[in-house]
Amino acid sequence: MPISEFALIQRFFTQQAVTSSSTRLGIGDDCALLSLPDGYELAVTTDTMVENVHFFVGTDPEKLGHKLLAVNLSDLASMGAKPLSVTLALTLPKVDEKWLTAFAKGFLGLAERYSVDLIGGDTTSGPLTLTVQAMGLVPKGKALLRSSALPGDFIYLTGSLGEAGLGLKHIRGYHCANPQASYNRFHKPDPQIEAGLALIGIANACIDVSDGLAGDLSHILEQSNVGACLYWDALPLSDAVLAYINDTGDWSMPLTAGDDYELCFTVSPEKADLLTINCTKIGIIEATPGLRLRKSGTVQPFNSKGYEHFS
Ligand code: ADP
Ligand code: MG
């Protein structure tokens, strides 16, 4: 006998313990209830992953559960928000208990790591589609926005670039010598929560790099009415990514490939000494609109849009 919708939620998605002090009521009623501490704002974000669009048919469900939550927590990180709770809307073609067990393990495993409560959701049947809404706390008026970069700001990046892009190339048939690291980066991104929290009061603008650095940084530039110059020589690239570039000549991959989930942020020079997190200075914000790249001694416009649906 197939498991009922409510039994499914109970069995796979009802966490043993409520961990966040803001959760007044979790799964089970028509709504969850959150109570917010004074002096904070609620940061809210949603991301959907659709089979065949965001992930391949047959993707390991545990990795999928991790990534679905990670991409949402990454959005909270980019605002400097502390994750609080999430809702999960699942559209499933059928009830596959093995699949659900693995998916819940990946999802709730990461949730536990950041003390995030799963407080509700919806479960329907249809083509495999996974949606999370994530909520986090940010001190009132202190969220890191895309719209507040200033000319003269230094541009920084956490972690390295292009590793997840290389993982995707590997899945699509490109042979790299040691694919495990890039494969993991593609499938199991780490949301940069601690970095985001540490940037409150220091960074002027911030974005998470989900669709490629060039495209995502361009969102900061457009919303802040500024431009930027990136320094090719300063980009943090792993040996594997450098080997890929050497091999293929595809040097722009690290600037355009998605799924890095690092934070790109800007800091005024006076505050640069206050940075405590691991990051690399990769460029500078300028008054002239547009994105430029300094490479081999010349500065050229760099035009690249990130991945866009419907285009
Ligand atoms: P309603 O019909 O009132 O929307 P549901 O039967 O859809 O209620 O859901 C019952 C409870 O289970 C609600 O608290 C809802 O938030 C929760 N829920 C439903 N699906 C999920 C899910 N996939 N993950 C977590 N909670 C869920
Ligand atoms: Mg419902």
What count of other Cβ atoms lies within 10 Å of the Cβ of residue 38? 5
Residue type (1 letter), 271: K
pLDDT in tens, 128-156: 999 999 999 999 999 999 999 999 999 99
Residue 1 confidence (pLDDT): 64
Mutate to test the pocket of ligand 1, among 8, 9, 15, 99 (most ligand atoms within 8 A of CB): 9
Is residue 79 over pLDDT 80? Answer: yes
How many A from CA of 31 to the centre of ligand 2? 10
Backbone angles phi, psi at 97, to 5 degrees: -65, -35
Residue 200 confidence (pLDDT): 98
Q: Is the pTM of this model over 0.85?
A: yes
What count of other Cβ atoms lies within 10 Å of the Cβ of residue 41? 16
Mean per-residue pLDDT of the chain? 93
The CB-side HSE value for 1 (13 A sphere, CA atoms) comes to 5
Residue 9 confidence (pLDDT): 87
Mean pLDDT of 183-200: 95
pLDDT in tens, 255-270: 999 999 999 999 999 9
Of 4-8, 233-237, 288-292, the range with the lowest mean pLDDT is 4-8
SS3 content of the chain, % helix, strand, coil (to 5): 35, 30, 40
Q: Are 134 and 72 in contact, with CB atoms under 8 Å apart?
A: yes
Residue nearest to atom 2 of ligand 1 (CA): 30
Mean pLDDT of 237-257: 95
Residue 246 confidence (pLDDT): 96
pLDDT band per the 50, 70, 90 thresholds, residue 8: confident
- 30 CB under 6 A from ligand 1? yes
Residue nearest to atom 21 of ligand 1 (CA): 121
Mean pLDDT of 280-288: 98
Give the H/E segment covering residue 230.
strand 227-231
